[in-house]
Amino acid sequence: MNRVSLAALVKPLLLRNRQCTPRPHGAFLVIALLFLGTVGISGSVGAESIAASNDESEEIHLGHAGPEEFERTEAEKQFDTIEGVRHHGPILQIPMPEGVTLEDLEMTLESEIAGANLKIVARQNIGKALRDRGDKDFPDYRIYHICNLTVGGKLLSLEPAFGAFMPCKLVLYEESPGGRVWALTYKPAFALAYFPEISQEAVDAAQDVGDRMYDILYLMATDG
């Protein structure tokens, strides 16, 4: 498509503008037209080119309509009975019992992880790292990377791209130094929503690990 001549658009408007508009406004009109001619006209040509290109390309699947397509498991529904639980989209935020320290919760986590046939494959003590760098009042904030290698291997063989969401993360943090501890984790259904053609076997495997994590968090939250 040929570009519309910007001069052809500007000239008649300038002539009309000289008769009815003070000069400062006329200058502003020229600048505005130049901007619109640069962005609008070339932009419309670009948009048409992109649309034509997209018509010829293969359709890209962006995922399921949403995680609501996956029925909530009984393990996730447990948290409906805990006061103060927050749902931030894909993030589940859970208050731990008052007076229980992060160190105590970490011991419980390590014990329960082993019993659920899971493993902490890495951990990051973000709070300590920040305090060591000079932020003396930064509260404890610890991230645990948790995985079952057998299940993880099965998921990766079925859908290699799912590795972007692995391993599972669980966070324990203090809301203030020495204050109440909260836990965070990512809901598996939100990760699964990005893979519309993933097999049911992969869905079951991911939700199984998620449910094990939920059970551990529920036990920690109820001082069970």
Each residue's pLDDT tens digit, 34-71: 334 444 434 443 444 334 444 443 443 434 444 555 67
73-77 mean pLDDT: 91
| Separation of alpha carbons 18 and 177, rounded Å | 69
Average the pLDDT over 194-198 and give the result.
83
Q: Which of 215, 221, 117 is nearest to 172 (CA)?
A: 221
Task: Please answer whether residues 52 and 184 qualify as being in contact, where contact means their C-beta atoms are separated by less than 8 angstroms.
Answer: no
Indicate the domain borders of the chain.
Answer: 6-56, 67-221
Mention the CATH class of domain 67-221: alpha beta
A 10 A CB-CB count for 195 gives 19
What is the rounded average pLDDT for all residues in the chain?
77
pLDDT in tens, 131-168: 999 999 999 999 999 999 999 998 899 888 889 999 99
17 three-state secondary structure: helix
Strand pairing category for 141-147 and 119-125 = antiparallel
- Note if the pTM is more than 0.85: no
